[in-house]
Homo-oligomer: A and B are copies of this chain.
Amino acid sequence: MAKSYYSTVLDHPADDVWAVIRPFDHYAWAGVEGETVIEHGKAGDQVGAVRRVTNGGNTLRQVLLAHSDVDRSYSYAFCGAPPFPVRDYAATIRVVPVAADGRSFIEWWATFDCAAEERDKWVKHFENEGFAKWLAALRRFMSDGAGRTRTGT
């Protein structure tokens, strides 16, 4: 199976990071332009919820497949065709404490199918143009204190 994987260390505690990324409808931390809403009034920690990310004329729809406060993780997939020529894309994000120093280790990965000759391209694409950028944005989001504010509520 094709698998993209990215991970990094963040300078904030895992519980603080989880508090920021935990709601499936809160996506501002990833630096993704546009508006994210959950359909049918569902909640951002409700399994089965569908989020709709609208950016200009483009709309993505993703469904929350699993969510865990124990593992500080959630999984999701595209509803309908994804905006890439891949199939069965399913992703998981997870954050774990670095016990030694109070920081956190965060992982983001996806599995998918695609044309054999495009496999390396898409594996790299999701890693470098997706997860790496969104986690860099999360790092800035946490450092700007937005993390603290949110977790303080």
Contact = CB atoms under 8 A, between A and B. Distances in A.
Nearest to A5: B99
Contacts of A116: 87, 113-115
Size category of the A interface is: 35 or more
A13 interface: no
A88 interface: yes
Interface stretch (A25-33, A52-60, A65-73): A65-73
A119 B116 CA distance: 12
Contact of A99 (B8, B45, B111): B8
Given A6-B99, A6-B100, A48-B69, 8 more contacts: A2-B113, A7-B96, A9-B9, A9-B98, A9-B100, A43-B46, A46-B47, A98-B105
